A and B are shown apart, each in its own frame.
Chain A
Amino acid sequence: MQNSEIFINALRFIVLVLLQVLILNHINFFGFVNPYVYILFILVFPLNGNQSLLILLSFLLGLTIDIFGDSGGVHAAACVFVAYLRPLILKFSFGISYEYNTVKISKVSLTERLVYVSLMVLLHHLVLFGLEIFSLSHILLILKSTLFSGIFSILLILCTLLLFSRKS
């Protein structure tokens, strides 16, 4: 990675964490629905970047959110999980073009982008709520939270991507 890229990613990390803990954690739409937009960091991490580094950074990202939210290690676990599965999901949603390193998230078609974002967000939320609630008797609550928060997060993430995509 080049210096500017490191700087941009560090800045993104800090801004997303602050945005999440100061604003988005307190939205409580319908009483329980909060969007988790900070995983945008994992989504837009350079596609040809070092996978081990991404896993490590995701752990730190999740842990920071956990520290602010007093939630133990649930965000860290969910983040590490999606960071590890990211290459698989990339391959699934972008197909052959990913393997030739020609994918740019700002340039792929809307469907492909939607599939990629949705898969990542839903997997993350499922692990997150599964660990947070941690009981099979509340499986409906887990699924309900995953679905509602997931839809909210996906919408916000797609909007943010549109807002910050550079035109070339």
Chain B
Amino acid sequence: MQQIIFFFIRNKNFLLFGLLFLIALTLTVRTHSFHKSKFVSSSNLVSGTIYSIKNDITTYFGLKKENQKLVDENKRLRALLESYKANSVATNGDSILPSKYSFLTARVINNNYSKTKNNLTIDKGLKDSLQIDLGVITTKGVVGIINSVSSNYATVQSILNTKSQINAKLKNSEHFGTLVWNTKDPNVVQLIDVPRLAIVAVGDTIVTGGKSTIFPKGILIGSIKNIILKEGENYYDLDVQLFNDMTNLENVYIIENQDAQEILALEKEVEDAEQ
């Protein structure tokens, strides 16, 4: 017994080191899976408050650009509204049905783009009825998916994250692939596994595919920058230049799919029945 106690006392530094290192490793590994990453995140009260104070100050520097963006969007929406009004006589009836997507606005209070696994923090949380797995976009394109929520803040797994895999398709056909990031350039992502049958050209637009419950179909992502078809492969790898400037984000929209619960429940039912 005495021997054991002496052993502990003699090696207490090493044991402490081992224990803490193990805890740190566990935390690291936990973040590698999407749904477990809520334990240590910047959406908690202390860091959230500090980041929003900082954002309150720095946001003034980009005010002019941000206003310009919002004005541009207003212009675009106004044009859409007018064209809708013009056509509404012809298409009355089912087009007036309420949309199944609802939108919320939020501000980005912390943004990363230089690491391999980037996350953003936004200033809305549980109190604004946010939850995990909602999509986040800007006026120009996709930003990411919410992966952790506290009462006042939430973190967003950016598309600039090696863990992100978003369903995306070509705008002018239904061929779809998976959007991933190779960590090289914060404004270029990769669309992989696009079937060889698809007709692709540099400059074509890539939009979200709508195959998941997170993003609606047709949200802008970027344009094709480079086409890679390896010898003997049946799938294209495309470099996609993002419309968004991921290094300069301020106002974002959060998309909530009202039918998500229903769709997921239905899919789960089918999966369970097959097992």
Interface assignment of B28: CB less than 8 Å from any CB of chain A = yes
Binds A, one of B37-45, B69-77, B216-224: B37-45
Q: A67-B42, A77-B21 are in contact. Are A72 and B112 (CB under 8 A)?
A: no
Q: Are A73 and B112 CB-contacts (below 8 A) given A55-B13, A63-B40, A132-B117?
A: no
List chain A residues, Cβ under 8 A from B112: 25, 69-70
Q: Which of B30, B110, B121, B155 contacts A72 (CB 8 A)?
A: B30
Once the chains bind, are B31 and A28 in contact (CB under 8 Å)? Answer: no
- How many Å from the CB of A39 to the closest CB on chain B? 15
- Asked if residues A68 and B116 are in contact (CB atoms below 8 Å), the reply is no
User: Of the candidates A70, A73, A76, which one forms a contact with B155 in the assembled complex, judged by CB atoms under 8 Å apart?
Assistant: A70
B126 within 8 A of A: no
Measured between alpha carbons, how far is A81 from B22 in the docked complex, in Å?
Answer: 11
List the B residue with the shortest CB-CB distance to A60: B20
Please tell me if the beta carbons of B23 and A76 are within 8 angstroms of each other in the complex.
Answer: yes
B26 CB within 8 Å of chain A:
yes
Given contacts A66-B27, A73-B28, contact A28 B117 (CB under 8 A): no
Give CA–CA (A77, B26) in the complex, Å.
Answer: 10
Query: In the complex, A126→B21 CA distance in Å?
Result: 15
Query: In the complex, what's the smallest C-beta–C-beta distance from B148 to chain A, in angstroms?
Result: 8
CB neighbours of B47 from chain A (8 A): 21, 67-68
A56 and B16 contacting across the interface, CB-CB below 8 Å: yes
In Å, the complex CA distance between A31 and B113 comes to: 8
Q: Is A62 an interface residue (CB 8 A)?
A: yes
Chain B residues, Cβ within 8 Å of A133:
116
Contact, CB under 8 Å: B24 / A76: yes
Min Cβ gap A5→B in Å is 21
User: 8 Å CB contacts to A: which residues of B112-136?
Assistant: 112-117, 119, 121
User: Is the Cβ of A134 less than 8 Å from the Cβ of B32?
Assistant: yes
Chain A CB count within 10 A is highest, among B14, B112, B186, for B112
Min CB distance B252 to A, Å, is 16
Q: Tell yes or no: A118 within 8 A of B by CB.
A: no
Q: A123 on the interface (CB 8 Å rule)? A: no
* Closest A residue to B110 using CB positions: A68
B136 CB to nearest A CB, Å = 15
Instruction: Provide the residues of chain B in CB contact with A7, threshold 8 Å.
Output: none
Instruction: Collect the chain A residues with CB atoms within 8 Å of residue B34's CB.
Output: none
Query: Chain A nearest CB: distance from B239 CB in Å?
Result: 17
Judged by a CB distance under 8 angstroms, whether A141 is at the interface is: yes
What is the distance, in angstroms, from A15's C-beta to the closest C-beta of chain B? Answer: 13
Most chain B Cβ neighbours within 10 Å, of A71, A72, A141: A72
Instruction: Determine the distance from Cα of A63 to Cα of B25 in the docked complex, in whole angstroms.
Output: 11
User: Is there an interface contact between B114 and A31, defined as CB atoms closer than 8 Å?
Assistant: yes
Nearest-CB distance from B45 to chain A (Å)?
Answer: 11
Cβ of B63 < 8 Å from any Cβ of A?
no
Partner of A69, one of B17, B24, B32, B42: B42
Residues of A within 8 A of B113 (CB): 28
Q: Which positions in A face B, CB cutoff 8 Å? A: 18, 21-22, 25, 28, 31-34, 51-52, 55-56, 59, 62-63, 66-74, 76-77, 80-81, 83-84, 131-134, 138, 141
B interface residue numbers (CB < 8 A to A) = 12-14, 16-17, 20-21, 23-32, 37, 40-42, 44, 46-47, 50-51, 54, 110, 112-117, 119, 121, 155, 183, 185-186, 247
